[in-house]
Amino acid sequence: MKTLVVFLLLMNVSQHASAVESYEGNSFVLPCQFPTERFPAPSVVWSRSDLSPPTVHQRQLQGDELKDQNQRYSGRTSMKTDSLETGDLSLNLTNLQLSDSATYTCSVRNFGDELSRSDVQLQVKERFPSWAKALLVLLVLLVVSGGLLFHFRQYFMSVPWVEVDSGVESVQLICKTTVCLPKDAKVEWKDANNRKVHVYENGSDQPEKQHEDYRDRTKMKRKVLEPGDLKV
């Protein structure tokens, strides 16, 4: 009876393939089933024919046999301890890498004779595709450079520079507008300490609004509504 079962199974050496996908860094279980419990000396070899050595994982009745295992899979493969008793020959592959994308073959043997062979095609995908990474890098660069530009903005803005000796009678600070100002435009000169140096509003100077340090020391050109020059 047992030989008949073996014969029928041998006649039926399965050759099917399936495709699965996962993401890098994940662990993934490559499926494989075969009623190994019906055989006296079963073993299973997971392999990749495109690698040398091709062995990814090997399980015998005594346990795992990993001396021929390809270095790439060192410490990253495992099968259920009772797999040869239950027939669940699935391979748990951990810490998936992009280079793990390949076709894996699950080969079931009895006394070295192959009983079954099935392929699983694994596709490992990038967690973040490269365009998303590029976009992220671009965004970070934009934010950082924007922040730097804002922080050091005074170095990038060209400020007119007027140099005079102390005690000189007067200096003219020039400020010109390129647009035509309305009649009720307000002109305000301030110093670095935010003190009002000169205020012009509603068509006339507003000395009461300026800081006392500048009282009677400023004069704005009369044709104020086109160029606005200030004399201190």
Answer for which of 14, 18, 26, 27 binds ligand NAG (CB under 6 A) is 27
Q: Which is nearer to ligand NAG, 59 or 198 (CB)?
A: 59
Please count the residues of this chain forming the interface with ligand NAG, following the rule CB under 6 A.
Answer: 5
Q: Check if the beta carbon of residue 214 is closer than 8 Å to that of residue 198.
A: yes
Q: Is there binding between residue 29 and ligand NAG (CB under 6 A)? A: yes
Answer for which of 33, 60, 92, 121 binds ligand NAG (CB under 6 A) is 92
Q: Is there binding between residue 33 and ligand NAG (CB under 6 A)? A: no
Q: Check if the beta carbon of residue 85 is closer than 8 Å to that of residue 147.
A: no
The residues pairing with 123 across neighbouring beta strands, listed in sequence order, are 21
CA atoms of 103 and 181, how far apart (whole Å): 76
Q: Which is nearer to ligand NAG, 9 or 79 (CB)?
A: 79
Q: Which is nearer to ligand NAG, 78 or 103 (CB)?
A: 78
Q: In the bound complex, what is the minimum distance in angstroms from residue 29's beta carbon to ligand NAG?
A: 5
Give me 105's structure tokens: 């073959």
Q: Which is nearer to ligand NAG, 76 or 211 (CB)?
A: 76
Q: Which is nearer to ligand NAG, 95 or 99 (CB)?
A: 95
Q: Which is nearer to ligand NAG, 30 or 115 (CB)?
A: 30
Q: Which long-range contacts (CB under 8 A, 24 or more apart) does 191-199 make?
A: 197/230, 197/232, 198/230
Q: In the bound complex, what is the minimum distance in angstroms from residue 78's beta carbon to ligand NAG?
A: 5
What is the number of the residue whose Cβ is closest to ligand NAG? 92
| Distances, alpha carbon 195 to alpha carbons 151, 157, 161, 210, 229, in Å | 23, 21, 19, 8, 18
In the numeric block, the tokens 């305000």 are attached to 188
For ligand NAG, the binding residues in 57-86 under the rule CB under 6 A are 78
Tell me the backbone φ, ψ of residue 155, rounded to 5 degrees: -80, -20
Answer for which of 94, 101, 121, 206 binds ligand NAG (CB under 6 A) is 94
Q: In the bound complex, what is the minimum distance in angstroms from residue 92's beta carbon to ligand NAG?
A: 4
Q: Is there binding between residue 101 and ligand NAG (CB under 6 A)? A: no
By CB neighbour count within 10 A (0-12 exposed, 13-18 middle, 19+ buried), where does 210 fall?
A: buried
The closest of 172, 36, 227 to 115, measured between CA atoms, is 36
H or E stretch covering 85: helix 83-86
Q: In the bound complex, what is the minimum distance in angstroms from residue 132's beta carbon to ligand NAG?
A: 27
Chain residues that interact with ligand NAG, rule: CB under 6 A: 27, 29, 78, 92, 94
